[in-house]
Amino acid sequence: MIEARGLVQTFHTGQGKNKKEVHAVKGVDLDVAEGEVVGFLGPNGAGKTTTLRMLVTLLRPTAGTARVAGYDVATEPVQVRRSIGYCSQVGSTFSGAFAGDEVVDHGMLYGMSRKDAVAKGQELFEKFQLEGLWRRMNKNMSGGQKRRLDIVMGLIHSPSLVFLDEPTTGLDPQARANLWEHISGLRANEGATVFLTTHYLDEADALADRIIIIDRGEIVASDTSDNLKASVSGDQVSLELSSDDQVATARDKLASISDDVRVDGRLVHGRVPRAGKAVPGLLRDLEASGVGLEGIEVIRPTLDDVFLTLTGRSLRDADEAAEPENVDAETAAPEGATR
Ligand SMILES: Nc1ncnc2c1ncn2[C@@H]1O[C@H](COP(=O)(O)OP(=O)(O)OP(=O)(O)O)[C@@H](O)[C@H]1O
Ligand SMILES: [Mg+2]
């Protein structure tokens, strides 16, 4: 459904002495299969929106190619636009129009009959808890209601490929959960392919079949949440022993399944890939060796741990990081960053 090769976007800002190049996207390859829900994750300024704008034909790539729904974004933009739904990060509804009219006009632009657009619009208003707002102007809606209206606009023509840019930003927990459910339903009931950007780790974790992480304009990882977590750090296993004299035995046993065992008093810690599989055997082994445990804790890594391992920074710190304009493109990656 999406196939991008070497996508580049370089912006030119300022004039004269202040002229600057912003390397927003630096050679991105993407492959998204039909029916996949992909979470495009990265900190502020990473290049998510810029990549999306190239894929939905709102921005011409500086270099590289992309085919979306079978069409080339540079030479067949109209066909691409007809095949997709798009909900931009900033929204696109006109503040002085009635919400229902906006939605129906939008559907009709995509070739729906007025009757079908009204029926589908009202169904989506109900799904997104916008009942009663059909004749309300956008400017008189709350932030969360506007956001939900943007999403309805992106879905009115039942596209089989949907791009959502930070769809849940500004939504309350109930509205977020509601949208998550709807996104899962789009795929399950209509076989839709969904490409959504987010910087909420839990959102990517809960929704996406696959997570693609972008940092400073480059893809740093692409895999299922489980595989990402397993590949970069493993699970943290901590054993609390009943007595000091068994610490050495426990350390040796844990070392048979972990490369980085640490001892802290009666606590023995280690990172274990896929602990769910390895720990039952470890427990049997410890018992057979007469090692008594007070407790055991297994902590799964978060996507933030994945990001930290890949980039040397936390996603949360990175979120507050300065824009990349002032950073030389070639030296932007932190030392030791892995691909
Ligand atoms: N039209 C533009 N002109 C100049 N620079 C731009 C333009 N659009 C985006 N940028 C810059 O490109 C970089 C990537 O921006 P982008 O909007 O793609 O980030 P993002 O990952 O979507 O971030 P966020 O999470 O904040 O939405 C940023 O440094 C941004 O300032
Ligand atoms: Mg963005």
Q: What pTM value is reported for the model?
A: 0.79
Letter string b/e over residues 131-153, b meaning 16 or more CB atoms within 10 A of that residue's CB:
eebbeebbeebeebbbbbbbbbb
Q: Is residue 338 part of a domain?
A: no
My answer on whether 173 and 253 are in the same domain is: no
Is 169 a residue whose pLDDT tops 80? Answer: yes
Contact 294, 240 (CB under 8 A): yes
- For the Cβ of 25 lying below 6 angstroms from any atom of ligand 1, the answer is no
Q: Are residues 214 and 255 in the same domain?
A: no
Residues 62 and 119 in one domain: yes
Mutate to test the pocket of ligand 1, among 15, 19, 20, 50 (most ligand atoms within 8 A of CB): 50
Q: Across all residues in the chain, what is the average pLDDT?
A: 86
190-199 confidence digits (pLDDT tens): 888 999 998 7
Q: Do residues 314 and 307 make contact, with C-beta atoms less than 8 angstroms apart? A: yes
Q: Residue 106: exposed, middle, or buried by beta-carbon count in 10 A (0-12, 13-18, 19+)?
A: buried
pLDDT of amino acid 191:
86
pLDDT at 339 over 70: no
Task: With beta carbons less than 8 A apart as the criterion, state whether 260 and 309 touch.
Answer: no
Of 169 and 294, the structure prediction assigns the larger pLDDT to: 294
Question: In the structure, what pLDDT confidence band is assigned to residue 322 with cuts at 50, 70 and 90?
Answer: very low
% of the chain beyond a pLDDT of 70: 92
pLDDT classification of 323: cutoffs 50, 70, 90: very low
Looking at residue 333, its pLDDT comes to 37
Strand partners, 241: 293
In this structure, is residue 305 part of a structural domain? no
Contacts from 55-60 at CB under 8 Å and sequence distance 24+? 55/2, 55/4, 55/30, 55/163, 55/195, 56/80, 56/81, 56/84, 56/86, 56/163, 57/81, 59/9
Residues 220 and 260 in one domain: no
306 lies in some domain: no
The pLDDT value recorded for residue 175 is: 83
Residue with CA at minimum distance from ligand 1 atom 30: 45
- Whole-number pLDDT of residue 329: 38
CA 7 to ligand 1 center in whole angstroms = 15
- Please check whether residues 67 and 36 belong to one and the same domain: yes
Per-residue model confidence as pLDDT tens digits over 35-59: 999 999 988 889 999 999 999 999 9
CATH of the domain at 294: 3.30.70
In this prediction, residue 136 carries a pLDDT of: 92
> Worst-scoring range by mean pLDDT, 153-162, 164-173, 261-270?
164-173
- From the CA of 170, how far away is ligand 2's center (Å)? 14
Residue 318 pLDDT: 59
Pick the atom of ligand 1 nearest to 50's CA.
18
Which amino acid residue places its CA nearest to atom 16 of ligand 1? 47
339 part of a folded domain: no
Residues in the chain: 339
- Residue 42: what pLDDT? 87
What pLDDT, in 10s, does the model give residues 102-157?
A: 999 999 999 899 999 999 999 999 988 898 999 999 888 888 888 889 889 999 99
Q: What pLDDT, on a 0 to 100 scale, did the predictor assign at position 125?
A: 94
Ligand 1 lined by 7 (C-beta under 6 Å): no
Whether 71 and 194 map to the same domain: the answer is yes
Residue-wise pLDDT tens digits, 231-281: 766 788 999 999 888 999 999 999 999 888 999 999 999 988 888 888 999
> Do residues 131 and 241 both lie within one domain?
no
CATH number at residue 199: 3.40.50.300
Please tell me the predicted confidence (pLDDT) of residue 319: 53
Confidence category of residue 206, pLDDT binned at 50, 70, 90: confident
**Statement to judge: residues 152 and 271 lie in one domain:** no
In the block, which residue shows the tokens 């997709």? 84
**pLDDT over 50 (residue 334):** no
What is the distance, to the nearest Å, from the Cα of residue 324 to the centroid of all Cα atoms in its chain? 20
| C-beta neighbour count of 218 within 10 angstroms | 21
- Identify the pLDDT of residue 11: 93
Question: What are the tens digits of pLDDT across the range 302-317?
Answer: 777 787 777 777 776 6
N-terminal to C-terminal alpha carbon distance within the chain: 25
Q: Is the pLDDT of residue 188 over 70?
A: yes
Number of domains in the chain: 2
Residues 83 and 181 in one domain: yes
Residues 87 and 35 in one domain: yes
User: Cβ(11) to ligand 1 under 6 A?
Assistant: yes
| pLDDT for residue 142 | 86
Query: Domain limits at 246?
Result: 234-300
Predicted confidence at residue 312, as pLDDT, reads 74
| Residue 142 in contact with ligand 1 by CB distance below 6 A | no
Q: What is the 3-state secondary structure (H, E, C) of the chain?
A: CEEEEEEEEEEEECCHHHCEEEEEEEEEEEEECCCCEEEEECCCCCCHHHHHHHHCCCCCCCEEEEEECCEECCCCHHHHHHHEEEECCCCCCCCCCEHHHHHHHHHHHCCCCHHHHHHHHHHHHHHCCCCCCCCCEHHHCCHHHHHHHHHHHHHCCCCCEEEEECCCCCCCHHHHHHHHHHHHHHHHHHCCEEEEEECCHHHHHHHCCEEEEEECCEEEEEECHHHHHHHHCCEEEEEEECCHHHHHHHHHHHHCCCCCCEEECCEEEEEECCHHHHHHHHHHHHHHCCCCEEEEEEECCCHHHHHHHHHCCCHHHHHCCCCHHHCCHHHCCCCCCCC
Residue 258 lies in a domain: yes
22 lines ligand 1 (CB under 6 A): yes
Residue 337: inside a domain:
no
